[in-house]
Amino acid sequence: MSAARSGRRAARRVALAAAGLALALIVLAPYAVMVCTALKPEAELRMTPPRLTPIAWRPANVLEVLRDPSFQGWLYASLVVALTSTLIVVLAATPAAYYTARHRFPGRSAFLLVVLVTQMFSPTALVVGLYRQFFDLGLVDTYAALILTNAAFNLAFAIWILRAFFASIPREIEEAAAVDGCGRVRTLVQVVLPLSLPAIVTAVIFAFIAAWNEYIVALTLMADPARKPLTVGITAYVTAYVQHWNHLFAASVIAIVPVVVLFATIERHLVGGLTAGSVK
């Protein structure tokens, strides 16, 4: 009986491992195609029938993209927009989340409901109104328009994540800090925020990735080729008149690197932030 049970457990582990491996291959397959295409010479892109792996690998495609002044401008635009909007999100969401977690005030439930409702609106549905508003303000074709839009759409998620974590921190810790002479601001900065690092990291990474990957608003608001972010700019490698698929995929591979580095750097804090507030 024990041997049969052990055999079933072993078979279950093997089946789960096989299923996990199959799922990983499915997820990684598009990236493999992207990398292989990025390293193909131009002549191999027109081969019939098409071939997945290059016959002659050409890493110089990546260097050509990196040296392209247009690509450098798109990369700079994406970094400016993503980093600045993420900073605004964290600076605005932290005090809002802390106050709503620790204080009950008239309209608190309505405020949280409004924050939640804003997550239901897609930038695509609001893009016409956003364009008209920024046009009236003279902000069309500026980084400020993209920064403000990305910060606004990512703020609600950051508030909910941080509020849940702040609410899970025992009040006794803050009361002890108050007894030691700490004011509310000092308690927040020196006591609460260090304890809330997993939630802050989660808010940062999601806000950064959302801003880094945003496409529709950038496509609508940015007409100057030099000011377009990566998501919009790299499409210039493939048009009705020019088809540099290897350069397009090389640029896409490079665009993934900042996100991968960010994940690798703060991954250990991510799970804690995602489960914030789930255990009391």
Quote the pLDDT of residue 279.
Answer: 44
Indicate the CATH number for domain 69-274: 1.10.3720.10
**Rounded to whole angstroms, how far apart are CA atoms 232 and 83?**
18
What number of CA atoms fall less than 13 Å from residue 199's CA on the CB side?
27
Quote the pLDDT of residue 229.
Answer: 93
3-class secondary-structure state, position 120: coil
Quote the pLDDT of residue 251.
Answer: 92
**Rounded to whole angstroms, how far apart are CA atoms 22 and 255?**
26
Quote the pLDDT of residue 230.
Answer: 92
Residues 36, 52 contacting (CB under 8 angstroms): yes
- Counting as low any pLDDT under 70, the low residues of the chain are 1-4, 267-280
Quote the pLDDT of residue 117.
Answer: 75
Quote the pLDDT of residue 118.
Answer: 73
Tens of pLDDT, residues 70-105: 999 999 999 999 999 999 999 999 888 888 887 777
